[in-house]
Amino acid sequence: MYPERLTKSIQAVEAAREKNIAYEPARMTAQQKEELLKAYHPDYKVEEFEELKIGQNKGQKVPKELCAILQAHSRIKADDVDLTKPDYDVDVLIIGGGGAGSSAAIEAHQAGADVMIVTKLRIGDANTMMAEGGIQAADKPNDSPATHFVDAFGGGHFAAKRELLSKLVCDAPEAIQWLSELGVEFDKDADGNMITTHGGGTSRKRMHAAKDYSGAEIMRTLRDEVLNRNIPVVDFTAAIELIKDDKGQIAGAVLMNMETKELLVARAKTVIIATGGAGRMHYQGFPTSNHYGATADGLVLGYRAGAQLLYAETLQYHPTGAAYPEQIFGALVTEKVRSLGAKLVNANGEVFMHPLETRDVAAASIIRECNDRNNGVETGSGLGVWLDTPMIEKIGGEGTIEKRIPAMMRMFGKYGIDIRKEPIIVYPTLHYQNGGLDITPDGMTTNVKNLYVAGEAVGGIHGRNRLMGNSLLDIIVFGRGAGKSAAAQCKNVTLGKLNLDHVAEFEKEIDKAGIKTDLVSPKLLPDYTNKK
Amino acid sequence: MENMVNIFLFGKKYEVPDNLTIMRAMEYAGYQLVRGCGCRNGFCGACATIYRIKGDRELKSCLACQTKVEDNMYIATLPFFPLVKQVYDIEKVKPTEQIMMQLYPEIYACIGCNACTKSCTQELNVMQYIAYAQRGEYEKCAEESFDCVMCGVCSARCPAGISHPQVAMLARRLNGKYLAPKCDHLEDRVREINDGTFKELIEDLMQKPIDQIKELYNTREIEK
Ligand SMILES: Cc1cc2nc3c(=O)[nH]c(=O)nc-3n(C[C@H](O)[C@H](O)[C@H](O)COP(=O)(O)OP(=O)(O)OC[C@H]3O[C@@H](n4cnc5c(N)ncnc54)[C@H](O)[C@@H]3O)c2cc1C
Ligand code: SF4
Ligand code: SF4
Ligand code: FES
């Protein structure tokens, strides 16, 4: 239910609907996009970034909030734990129970390794569970991994590490096959052909989906498989520091029970960081689409242990976060809404851009429409633009919305908005961490031995921006890869004496660099309690 | 001006703005959540909650992240419910009726009280999907249960001790793996990749100067 003051604007949208459906707005030229991004994309706001004074990426700029936690104090001192008496002792320790961590666990287990998952909330309480739109793979006859490569490379501003990207696109069809064989229900026609759509920035329709519960369907299946294999999952337990041995290789992690705060030691021959994203850091004060535990912990753990970051300064603001009603502010409106034909329309009922530009371009364009051109819709708690969902029913026929995007229909339906009949209001929301820890194609960090990373905590697979559907893909491809590599690698590892010297070392550096801070990290959870 | 309402968290009274979800209201009241909060957006099922409005007899269930507070709402979260999850080998099971009898025989003890359906936080027809599971109609069970977030509320209400979301999970995997039509173009593509069909194309892209790839990208043909 919209407040009355929006009626005029809604009427304008309705009046122009037929015309807007027929209208095919031009896509922007490379130069137009560049100018738009520079002027309006949050990544280009210099004052929101700060230079790192210590660590592998010293001298580089990252978001202020990230800089603060990367250079914060450890939650522990060496003598808080007894490293000689580990509570757990495994071949492969996986930190994070999302899609990447679960895929890694299944493959490492399949390879015969002794594996364990620790996760901050429950397994599956993760960004993976929330992915709606779908997963890319070039498996149709008119498509090829090379085409997929070009789309993703261009979409990421030609900055991806090519050896990572080529693995992503070449292993994609097999990833879909693997998921299908685990029982993931992809949308198919009666002959078994995948029903695929475009996503922003794709040149072929290669987005596979399971309605708009794509991530949930993948995540719950992976979780079920982890449990079927009796892989130990230690939940409500966060990794708060990595452990090394006297040979300088990774040797485990210090864990903390999230409820009792008890500290535990996990000794491991290989560690896989699969801690996901950073939306709950609320960079630049943006709302977020991410789950409760998305606080960049993996980057902090890795950075302190000497690993290198790549593109940590690039974030993805999803163009269509819900801007109304207040209760779902920042929640994601899947890109599939636009794939199915809904266009972005300003307060006057005008289509102001092609609906399927890449995310960064679309976000910048919405920000410009609202903040510069004054064509935004005033929601009462901010600005937004219309996303004209009823177009979908007109284009695809009645019932398309219920069939293809039921989660969206439900989310707005709860607040009295029938998206089949009424448009919705959107504004960019902090969505995805493009950058992260730097890895080689086998998943190992470039400079810390036996430390692997998979999923959203990795940087470099996509470059400086990621296309929709390539993240669910990367967590499967690189999650599986890291699991296999770590399981193979642990056969060659003999651990020496465990220590936390790198933590003490890092504290000294903080001091030397003159950084004054009371902050401790990793952050673990945001604090939303009302401070009175 | 915010309108305030009274709510009772585990019996204790708090005054909170009326436009908050139950989850936000708990935080407003000062709770730092650990358990009972996952996706914050209706997908993970971590935040199952029961409530009763004062004067009303009915005990209702909901997801705390998806439900607005109301005046005189008595709230208790149900962040963990001990469901039964049977383990099985997906490669070895068959999509026949036997498998349910073997793993979840209690579904045949359903007394048709419909409490599960009435309590479902996703408004699913839970009793119906259990009926499909009983009959080995896994495709229908999968479809009917698809939006299940596995919050466990239905199971908390079931006099027959059924773990509905786990039954549905099994049905969906059986359907996805064994019953859904096979995808030929996917199998073909995997084979082509293994045969090295795209090797040269990819190797070429690995070497290509950035300018040439930019040209390729900016002039690529986009499928209608
Ligand atoms: C709303 C939404 C919609 C999306 N839609 C799509 C889409 O349609 N297509 C697509 O490709 N991508 C999509 N994405 C992106 C994609 O879902 C994620 O990038 C991806 O799932 C991340 O997977 P992950 O396994 O790396 O991280 P996650 O799934 O987030 O898992 C990380 C896990 O690690 C745990 N953890 C974190 N820190 C610690 C710690 N210190 N100790 C222990 N455990 C820890 C977390 O609690 C969590 O369980 C979407 C993301 C969101 C948020
Ligand atoms: S079926 Fe049961 S577990 Fe699934 S959403 Fe409904 S109440 Fe929750
Ligand atoms: S609550 Fe249990 S017994 Fe009652 S209808 Fe549902 S499954 Fe059957
Ligand atoms: S927190 Fe995930 S459903 Fe409510």
Alpha-carbon span A431 to A428, nearest angstrom? 9
Instruction: Tell me which residues of A are annotated as active site.
Output: 318, 338
**Best CA proximity match to B64, nearest among A215, A327, A326, A217:** A327
Give the number of other CB atoms < 10 A from CB of residue A229.
14
- Return the residue whose CA atom lies nearest to atom 3 of ligand 4: B42
User: A57 — phi, psi (to 5°)?
Assistant: -105, 20
Specify the pLDDT at position A14.
96
Specify the pLDDT at position B29.
96
B102 with B171, same domain: the answer is yes
Specify the pLDDT at position A380.
84
The residue range of the domain holding B33 is 4-77
Q: Residue B136: inside a domain, yes or no?
A: yes
Domain boundary among B47, B77, B107: B77
Question: Across the strands, what pairs with A76?
Answer: none
Distance of CA A322 to the CA centre of its chain: 17
Higher pLDDT: A74 or A328? It is A74
Question: Is a pLDDT exceeding 60 seen at residue A4?
Answer: yes
Give which of A32, A178, A327, A361 to mutate to test B binding, by max B Cβ within 10 Å.
A327
Give which of A202, A291, A334, A395 to mutate to test B binding, by max B Cβ within 10 Å.
A291
- Return the residue whose CA atom lies nearest to atom 51 of ligand 1: A131
Alpha-carbon span A50 to A283, nearest angstrom? 12
**Beta-sheet pairing, A61-63 with A49-51:** antiparallel
Specify the pLDDT at position B147.
94
Give the distance from residue A202's alpha carbon to the nearest chain B alpha carbon, in angstroms. 8
Domains of chain A: 4-40+316-430 (3.90.700.10), 73-133+210-314+437-501 (3.50.50.60)
Q: Residue B91: inside a domain, yes or no?
A: no
B105 with B174, same domain: the answer is yes
Domain count, chain B: 3
B128 with B199, same domain: the answer is no
CA B36 to ligand 1 centroid distance, Å: 18
Alpha-carbon span A173 to A318, nearest angstrom? 26
CA B214 to ligand 1 centroid distance, Å: 30
- CATH at residue B29: 3.10.20.30
Report yes or no: A280 and A290 within 8 Å, Cβ to Cβ.
Answer: yes
What's the mean pLDDT in A362-371? 95
pTM, full prediction: 0.96
Specify the pLDDT at position A133.
86
Q: What is the DSSP letter of B3?
A: P
Specify the pLDDT at position A382.
87
Alpha-carbon span A266 to A254, nearest angstrom? 6
Q: Residue B60: inside a domain, yes or no?
A: yes
B198 with B140, same domain: the answer is no
CA B40 to ligand 4 centroid distance, Å: 4
Contact assignment for A145 to B198 by CB distance below 8 Å = yes
Contact assignment for A166 to B205 by CB distance below 8 Å = yes
Contact assignment for A125 to B210 by CB distance below 8 Å = no
Task: Identify the band that residue A323 occupies on the pLDDT scale cut at 50, 70 and 90.
Answer: very high
Question: Is a pLDDT exceeding 90 seen at residue A52?
Answer: yes
Please, which residues have CB within 8 angstroms of residue B7's CB and are 6 or more apart in sequence?
A: B13, B14, B15, B16, B22, B25, B69, B70, B71, B72, B73, B74, B75
Candidate from A472, A478, A524 with most ligand 1 atoms within 8 A of CB, to mutate: A472
Specify the pLDDT at position A532.
54
B60 with B116, same domain: the answer is no
Q: Residue B137: inside a domain, yes or no?
A: yes
Report the half-sphere exposure of A353 (CA within 13 A, side-chain side).
29
Q: Looking at the CA of A95, which ligand is closest?
A: 1
Specify the pLDDT at position A407.
86
Specify the pLDDT at position A386.
97
B148 with B114, same domain: the answer is yes
Question: Is a pLDDT exceeding 90 seen at residue A358?
Answer: no
- Return the residue whose CA atom lies nearest to atom 2 of ligand 3: B158
Cα dihedral A495, A498, A499, A503 sign: positive
Distance of CA A74 to the CA centre of its chain: 25
**Strand blocks (E) in A274-352:** 309-310, 315-322, 344-345
Contact assignment for B173 to A158 by CB distance below 8 Å = no
Cα dihedral A16, A20, A22, A23 sign: positive
What's the mean pLDDT in A151-168? 97
B174 with B214, same domain: the answer is no
Alpha-carbon span A178 to A352, nearest angstrom? 41
B38 with B108, same domain: the answer is no
Contact assignment for A129 to B43 by CB distance below 8 Å = yes
Give the number of other CB atoms < 10 A from CB of residue A84.
9
Residues of A in contact with B24 (CB under 8 A): 327, 528
Weakly modelled stretches of chain B, pLDDT under 50: 1
Q: Residue B123: inside a domain, yes or no?
A: yes
Angle between helices A172-182 and A214-228 (to 10 degrees): 60
What's the mean pLDDT in A97-117? 98
Please, which residues have CB within 8 angstroms of residue B197's CB and are 6 or more apart in sequence?
A: none
B175 with B120, same domain: the answer is yes
Q: Residue B61: inside a domain, yes or no?
A: yes
Measured from the CA of A335, which atom of ligand 1 is nearest?
Answer: 8
Q: What is the DSSP letter of A191?
A: T
% of residues, chain A, pLDDT over 70 = 100
B15 with B68, same domain: the answer is yes
Give the distance from residue A193's alpha carbon to the nearest chain B alpha carbon, in angstroms. 5
Task: Identify the band that residue A531 occupies on the pLDDT scale cut at 50, 70 and 90.
Answer: low
B174 with B198, same domain: the answer is no
